[in-house]
Structure 1
Amino acid sequence: MIRKKSRPEGPLDYAELARLLPAPGDPHLSLDRHLLLEEHLMNEIQPTAAVPAPSRRPARRVLVIGVPATAATLAGAFAFTALTNSGGGDPAAATPPPVAAPVVRVEPGSTAQLASTVEHIAAAATARTMPEPGPGQYVYVKSEVSYLTVSHTDTDDSKAWVQPLHIREVWKSPDGKHGWLDEPGYQAKGGTTIDSAVENSLTAPSYDYLKTLPTDPDALLKKIYKETRGQGNSPDQQAFSTVGDLLDEQLAPAKLNAALYRAAGRIPGVVVVKHAKDAAGREGIALAHVDQKTGERTEWIFDPETYAYLGSRAVQVEQADGVEPGTVTESTAVLERAVVDAQKQRPGAEGGRA
């Protein structure tokens, strides 16, 4: 059978191409996901720009699932390539492929023991002392982490994909101007500088900046609400997220640590989750808050006996963008926190102090 050509030979113009191709699908991404994806893509296409100090959740909530194989899929595929091959441009730093996100039972949170739990955590923070970093020294934090990455599929729209658990080490000078990040597979081989000229703030804190914050919980919480207003989430969720970011890859004076926990306990919507596991598999009790926009619950996990901070977890508690309830979209575990005498120096080496 001979088929007649339905169009003349030669290149198609745009109108003809648009007529022949199916209409692009609509991924129905929420506004905050569009903005996060756009921000990351802009960072990827401007590799010569100064490297800012990374947040603790570099790829969180950027998700494309079940997008038809048209223009939207191509955009998702480009984003997937950008995120999963961001090893600093070093071919030796090949990024591991993503894995299916773990799924856990969603345990309801409760306010019944919130006040007593917060006081236990605050008291433990007050009693726990750390050496204060001085000029020329660095705050060192070693963590095991996994964050949500970008995925798309035409055959299975029920899975979310995350980075495999991996080690992340940061060094930060007390003034916040100098630093180093070593995250094999996700940065250039050997690590990368995170020197910063950004002015210290609640969203970019240094140890020296944290020392200036009020240790009265009410005054501290008022400052957090005021300075983070309009930054994307609801005021309560933004306040909770800000406190969490201050606690994770940084060192804070003991009194401020206690004030941060007491302030967090006064944020509406904060609950206690009795059973939670960090990225290292350590069982703990958690302070948690649900983001009403995304249906994701952020959990700060503490040792149930010593109330020491272990790490964090983000669990989807309501279905959103194809992510099923119980999906763990982020998991971290702080393995070591110390003051060292030089950048790239690890505790246990000469000059390192835990």
Structure 2
Amino acid sequence: MDELQLIAERTAAVPLAESGALDAARARLMTEIAAAGTENVVPLRNRRRWVWTGVGAAGIAAAVTAVVALAPAGLEPPAAAADPVAVLRSAAAAALKATDTPPKPDQFIYTKTKQPGGERESWHSADGTHDGLIKLAGGGNFPLPGCRDGRAQVYKGEEPLKGVTEPCTPRPSYRVDLPTDADAMFAYLTADRSGEKGDYNAMGKDIVALANETYLPPAVRAALYRAAAKVPGLRAVDHVKDAAGRPGVGITWPLGPEDDPKVAKPVVIVFAADTFLYLGESGTAVTASGVVDAVGQRP
């Protein structure tokens, strides 16, 4: 099978976009080709023609399919058209371009999310030593006691129990302690997992938890997405929306070895199909976030 036939078959189900809408997608395609090694691209005398060597026909077809499938202008491809690894790598590249405004130790990471049960706002202490708060739109506040001198206040509901504390370790929401290398991040996620060995769906939930309500420096967030790309059995999902109804391209993890496929639902994280910025997941959408000086403030 020649390259053109393979590409035609891989992209047959993907609708065409307007030429102007493909500019960003075209740039991403060239980035993927460059990532495979610029030594594989040899210019001819005619500068408008190229010979691609060392890159297999299947690889070229996959790259073209991913770019066409993720082109902007509202096009939503079939699930098989998008390459989950390419999507996560593009999300990592987008994360590296984000503006980094490191919070001060006494500040808070504000996050507003939309869930099936309503909206939720949270104020997490940047250094883990200050008292934060979770607020639900339907009513109810959940204190997040800071850990100071190895002790944290104990609450009963919303009320602190006078004179009652418990041992603790600060849990900062500004995560400068995490790796900036994909392999090291994957090792961290494997060692600090919430599920059993081989439960990549649980790892997906851990990744969502880090992406949702923590402040990750750009290099750390990029490493998180690149580490996610190392999970076996990833699948791209078309026509996916986050909990706020925003359309995007979804990445889902395989269920864990002990999960009942009739009951358990795989984690699906959602990225904007045009910018690859993180939107949330199928059950939780991040609608606002930022750094604030005090609980109750909003960016």
TM-score tier by shorter-chain length is 0.5 to 0.7
Following superposition, the deviation at residue 199 of structure 1 comes to 2.5
1:195 maps to which of 121, 141, 145: 145
Instruction: Determine if contact 1:240/1:267 at 8 Å carries over to the other structure.
Output: no
Following superposition, the deviation at residue 127 of structure 1 comes to 0.3
Within a 5 Å distance, the mapping from 1:101-250 to structure 2 comes to 109-110=79-80, 113-146=83-116, 163=117, 166-177=118-129, 178-185=131-138, 187=140, 191-197=141-147, 198-199=168-169, 206-208=172-174, 210-228=175-193, 231-232=195-196, 234-250=198-214
Amino acid at match of 2:98: R
Q: Could you tell me the percent identity over the aligned residues?
A: 31
Label 1:283 to 1:233 Cα distance change in 2 as closer, same or farther (>3 A).
farther
Within a 5 Å distance, the mapping from 1:1-354 to structure 2 comes to 109-110=79-80, 113-146=83-116, 163=117, 166-177=118-129, 178-185=131-138, 187=140, 191-197=141-147, 198-199=168-169, 206-208=172-174, 210-228=175-193, 231-232=195-196, 234-292=198-256, 293-295=259-261, 296-313=265-282, 331-347=283-299
Distance 1:259 1:282 in 2: 25
Following superposition, the deviation at residue 256 of structure 1 comes to 0.4
Instruction: Determine if contact 1:144/1:280 at 8 Å carries over to the other structure.
Output: yes
Following superposition, the deviation at residue 268 of structure 1 comes to 1.1
Amino acid at match of 2:233: G
Label 1:194 to 1:173 Cα distance change in 2 as closer, same or farther (>3 A).
same
Following superposition, the deviation at residue 274 of structure 1 comes to 2.5
Following superposition, the deviation at residue 273 of structure 1 comes to 1.1
Q: Tell me, which stretches of 5 or more residues in structure 1 are unaligned?
A: 1-106, 147-162, 314-330, 348-354
Instruction: Determine if contact 2:199/2:255 at 8 Å carries over to the other structure.
Output: no
Following superposition, the deviation at residue 301 of structure 1 comes to 0.5
Give the aligned length.
197
Following superposition, the deviation at residue 176 of structure 1 comes to 2.1
Distance 1:271 1:219 in 2: 23
Distance 2:247 2:269 in 1: 12
Label 1:112 to 1:334 Cα distance change in 2 as closer, same or farther (>3 A).
closer
Distance 2:80 2:132 in 1: 39
Distance 1:266 1:232 in 2: 18
| Equivalent in the alignment of 1:327 | none
Distance 1:167 1:263 in 2: 29
TM superposition outliers: structure 1 runs of 4+ over 4 Å: 107-112
Distance 1:130 1:206 in 2: 17
Amino acid at match of 2:134: L
Amino acid at match of 2:288: E
Instruction: Kindly indicate which of the two structures has a greater share of residues assigned to strand.
Output: 2
Label 1:112 to 1:141 Cα distance change in 2 as closer, same or farther (>3 A).
closer
Instruction: Kindly indicate which of the two structures has a greater share of residues assigned to helix.
Output: 2
Instruction: Determine if contact 2:89/2:229 at 8 Å carries over to the other structure.
Output: no
Label 1:169 to 1:269 Cα distance change in 2 as closer, same or farther (>3 A).
same
Label 1:112 to 1:308 Cα distance change in 2 as closer, same or farther (>3 A).
closer
Amino acid at match of 1:298: V
Following superposition, the deviation at residue 114 of structure 1 comes to 2.2
**Normalization by structure 1: what TM-score?**
0.52
Label 1:257 to 1:111 Cα distance change in 2 as closer, same or farther (>3 A).
farther
Distance 2:190 2:199 in 1: 7
RMSD (Å) for aligned C-alpha atoms? 2.2
**Normalization by structure 2: what TM-score?**
0.61
Instruction: Determine if contact 2:200/2:254 at 8 Å carries over to the other structure.
Output: no
CA distances 1:290-339 after superposition (whole Å, capped 9, x unpaired)? 324042121111111111111111xxxxxxxxxxxxxxxxx211111101
Distance 1:173 1:221 in 2: 25
Amino acid at match of 1:127: K
